[in-house]
Amino acid sequence: MNIEQGVRDPPFLRNVGLMLTYHCQASCAHCILRAGPDRHEEVSIEDAHDWIRQIAAYRNGYVYVLSLTGGEPFSNLKLLRAVMEFAAENKLYISVVTNGFWATERDKAKQLLKSLPEICFLSISTDLYHQKFVPFENVKNAMWAAQECGIPFYVSVVTDNKEDLAYQRIHTELLKLADPKNIRTGIIFPVGRAADIKDELRYSLSSEPCPEVCQASSSPCIFPDGRVYGCIGPLIDLQEQQPLYLGSLREHSVAEIFDRSETNAILHALRLWGPSHFLSWLREAGMEDHLPTVFVPGSICQACHTILSDPAVREWLHQLEQDIEFRRKVAYGRLYHLKETGMLELSGYSHLTGDK
């Protein structure tokens, strides 16, 4: 899926995701991670402390926000509390993703959020898939409780088609409770668990890829086993065989991995130009046979995943990433379009950024 970009994501590396657990009360048909009640892999408290310490120390406090995700982070409250307390002690703001299963009653939900004062932001997921496991009433309670506790939030909804009446009904209900800019819609397509319901999905098709640029890849995400990915989108389905796999914390430090991500030219090309640009580059390189021809309109992640699913394309991108001119173009593109100097500095061009 991809999420509409009405709300701007934080700048590069200011927000870091930490996936606490694969466990979830729900086993939604669209879940990329295939989380569910039978999954029990979670981050150990020792690893969480070690990584949070490293994240907080990175470039003297460069990272502002730690986004806790899953699975369902509220599944293991003891772990959630311990991680949040430690992150707050390390001066990180905390945002948490949830499906709201815990908000069975308004007052209970408010009490729980009050007991978790470290939460600065909530991202609440609901849609047809979630509602098979978590009633919409819970989501409403969670939104009410967040408002009562002064916690800003947005609601993420996914659908295979925005024309779908059930989706529209949920969206209309949400509009009664939240500002439109705080409701984000993502389009799902067959990846992760959604691949198992491929034939049921009714997304429309187009010969044109979504032209957007990727904002989500500004926020890397750490998995419980130490793998770090440049985004928590569908590319993770390609495991380590893709340019946004940034490395493992079992082999490298947070600083090494984050510094390397500053100079990952493919990742930043996605942020600057979006996956649709890759098509013209591939065409120019004579790779017509490897160009996907069918896209899901409005889904940048589908364009990205479809293009990068081809091993020959990934190999070509790997070669492109070594190209000095391409790297310079990306580094300068970041300076001019995103006002980011990190890649120029780490590539030894800092004299051109005005910094000493």
Does 300 bind ligand SF4 (CB under 6 A)? Our answer is: yes
Does 244 bind ligand SF4 (CB under 6 A)? Our answer is: yes
**The pairing of beta strand 227-229 with beta strand 65-70:** unpaired
Q: Which of residues 72-111 bind ligand SF4 (CB under 6 A)?
A: none
Instruction: Give the integer Cα–Cα distance in Å for 231 and 216.
Output: 6
How would DSSP label each residue in 187-239?
E--SSGGGGGGGGG-----BSS---PPP-GGGS-EE-TTSEEES-SSGGGGGT
Instruction: Give the integer Cα–Cα distance in Å for 40 and 70.
Output: 11
Does 190 bind ligand SF4 (CB under 6 A)? Our answer is: no
Q: Collect all residues with Cβ–Cβ distance below 8 Å to 263 and sequence separation of at least 6.
A: 327, 331, 343, 346, 347
Q: How far is the CB of 280 from ligand SF4 (least distance, A)?
A: 17
Beta partners for 121? 95
Instruction: Give the integer Cα–Cα distance in Å for 218 and 328.
Output: 19
Size of the site for ligand SF4 (CB under 6 A): 15
Does 305 bind ligand SF4 (CB under 6 A)? Our answer is: yes
Q: How far is the CB of 47 from ligand SF4 (least distance, A)?
A: 24
133 token code pair:
């496991």
Q: How far is the CB of 93 from ligand SF4 (least distance, A)?
A: 22
Does 238 bind ligand SF4 (CB under 6 A)? Our answer is: no
Q: How far is the CB of 281 from ligand SF4 (least distance, A)?
A: 16
Choice from 24, 35, 157, 216 touching ligand SF4 (CB under 6 A): 216
Choice from 191, 301, 317, 343 touching ligand SF4 (CB under 6 A): 301
Choice from 190, 192, 234, 333 touching ligand SF4 (CB under 6 A): 234
Q: How far is the CB of 159 from ligand SF4 (least distance, A)?
A: 17
Q: Which is nearer to ligand SF4, 194 or 244 (CB)?
A: 244
Does 270 bind ligand SF4 (CB under 6 A)? Our answer is: yes
Which stretches within the chain are classed as H helix? 45-57, 77-89, 106-114, 136-148, 165-177, 254-262, 265-272, 276-284, 300-308, 311-322, 324-338, 342-346
Does 228 bind ligand SF4 (CB under 6 A)? Our answer is: no
Does 221 bind ligand SF4 (CB under 6 A)? Our answer is: no
Q: Applying CB under 6 A, which residues contact ligand SF4? A: 2, 214, 216-217, 231, 233-235, 244, 270, 275, 300-301, 304-305
